[in-house]
Amino acid sequence: MAIKGEKSRAGLGRKLRMGMVGGGPGAFIGEVHRKAARMDGQVELAAGAFDIKPYRSKQMGRVLCLDRRRVYNDYQQMIEKEASLPAAERIDFVSITTPNNWHFPIARDFLKAGFHVMCEKPITLTLREAKELQKIVRQTRKVFGLMHTYTGYPMVKLGRDMVRQGDLGRILKIVVQYPQGWLIHPIERQGQPQAVWRTDPKQSGSAGCIGDIGSHAENLAEYISGLQIREICADITTFVKGRRLDDDGNCLLRFNKGAKGLLHSSQISIGEENNLAIWVYGDKRSLEWHQEHPNYLYVREIDGPVQVWRRGNDYVAAKSPAAGRATRIPFGHPEAYIEAFANIYGNFTDTIRARILRRKPTELELDFPKAEDGVRGMAFIETVVASSKSKRKWMKMKS
Ligand code: NAD
């Protein structure tokens, strides 16, 4: 098997240096980023401000065996000190893995200080901040990646390429769901760390469930179909008494080119874990993909048997070079969540490397979510909240 990215990655002759904000002791997604970014051996973790509490940031730095001079009390100190290091030592990019309220100020300040940024979703707390950040990305000309994980899966890329190649015909309908059940009880009141900030409007934003996971479903639907949501009729609910943000949402969607759709996301659906799934119906064929069984893509036509496309086979890479590039091991050995993160990191860091080497990044390298996706995500969240409150119901997607 070829070594992944052998040609494009050899040129720089060193690993890219990564910094991280967030991902302290007991945090969820920071550790996933650390594992994924380093999966292909092209990135080293060099610095961090890992926790809102400085002593816990230091504690994390010790666990990660980092040079203690590069473990900071807060992100501002990190920017100041990293920027003053010689170019051959300072970090190339920072990954922001804090709760949502911190994404905007941290991303803005790192971009302005000359660092590339990988940011967790949703991009910011409001649509206005998202547009402001998009402007800063353009002005600073830094590489900005947004961790919409699910676009990193090879079979999602295959589905997108089938749509692009016209295999499905005209897209008529998209059904996308993201149910979970972990917030059926008010565990935020017992201090469950991931629940506490997700149910606090100051840290999470104007939406709970619809922002946390509905935005992933929106991004997946637009990525695979190549269409854009134009109008939304939404009904979001807070089922758990006393909770301050929605924990369930149901939306009717109208896309451009006449396609219609349904999106539901939920955190009170007992028994559901991370049951993200999508069905795209065209006038020639349909496709179906499940995040909990991500190595398979189902394709159906009106008068033939169901096709099951399986990750790791040569016919997948032949149909979709993007899917082939996002595959590390042969068929039958499952790849999943961390690899999807690693694929987004792979394209993001290849683009940074191209920038450093003054080479134009290829279309395959540029295949990762960016600030534009973040702006659409925030427009989706704010439109859903407005539609749900309004009596008029159908609302044009904000822009
Ligand atoms: P978490 O509560 O588990 O971890 C947050 C960490 O950030 C903690 O260590 C906390 O101390 C630290 N932190 C908070 N403010 C900070 C600051 N100003 N400076 C430094 N550190 C700070 O949260 P989580 O579940 O890991 O979620 C973090 C982010 O990741 C959220 O934006 C969430 O939406 C996103 N997320 C994305 C995915 C995905 O699939 N892409 C999955 C889960 C979470």
Tell me the per-residue pLDDT of 12-43, one tens digit each, with 9 for 90 and over.
899 999 999 999 999 999 999 999 999 999 99
pLDDT reported for residue 315: 98
What architecture (CATH level 2) is domain 151-331+376-387?
2-Layer Sandwich (3.30)
Pocket test for ligand 1, best of 120, 123, 156, 219 (most atoms within 8 A of CB): 120
Q: Tell me: the pLDDT tens digits for 266-323?
A: 999 999 999 999 999 999 999 999 999 999 999 999 999 999 999 999 999 999 999 9
Backbone angles phi, psi at 87, to 5 degrees: -55, -30
In the chain, domain spans: 7-150, 151-331+376-387
* Start-end of H helices in 113-260: 127-140, 154-164, 193-198, 201-204, 209, 215-225
**C-alpha dihedral (305, 158, 336, 199), degrees to nearest 10:** -100
| Residue 366 CA, ligand 1 centroid: distance in Å | 25
Per-residue pLDDT for 11 more than 90?
no
Q: Tell me: the pLDDT tens digits for 326-385?
A: 999 999 999 999 999 999 999 999 999 999 999 999 999 999 999 999 999 999 999 999
Q: Kindly write down the DSSP assignment for every residue of 54-82, as one continuous string.
A: HHHHHHHHHHTT--GGGB-SSHHHHHHHH
What distance in Å separates the CA atoms of residue 272 and residue 279, rounded to the nearest whole number?
18
Atom in ligand 1 nearest the alpha carbon of residue 102 = 18
Atom in ligand 1 nearest the alpha carbon of residue 103 = 32
Per-residue pLDDT for 3 more than 60?
no
Q: Tell me: the pLDDT tens digits for 153-206?
A: 999 999 999 999 999 999 999 999 999 999 999 999 999 999 999 999 999 999
**Residues 7, 11, 15, CA angle at the centre, nearest 5°?**
105
What distance in Å separates the CA atoms of residue 169 and residue 171, rounded to the nearest whole number?
6
**CATH class for the region spanning 7-150:** alpha beta
pLDDT reported for residue 8: 62
Q: Tell me: the pLDDT tens digits for 88-106?
A: 999 999 999 999 999 999 9
Average per-residue pLDDT for the chain: 97
CB of 188 sitting under 6 A from ligand 1? no
* Contacts for 390 with CB less than 8 Å, ≥ 6 apart: none
pLDDT reported for residue 1: 43
CB of 180 sitting under 6 A from ligand 1? no
CB of 198 sitting under 6 A from ligand 1? no
Tokens of 326: 């996002």
Residue 260: which region, alpha, beta or left (left: phi > 0; alpha: psi -120 to 50)? beta
Do the domains 7-150 and 151-331+376-387 sit in the same CATH topology, yes or no?
no
| Residue 67 CA, ligand 1 centroid: distance in Å | 23
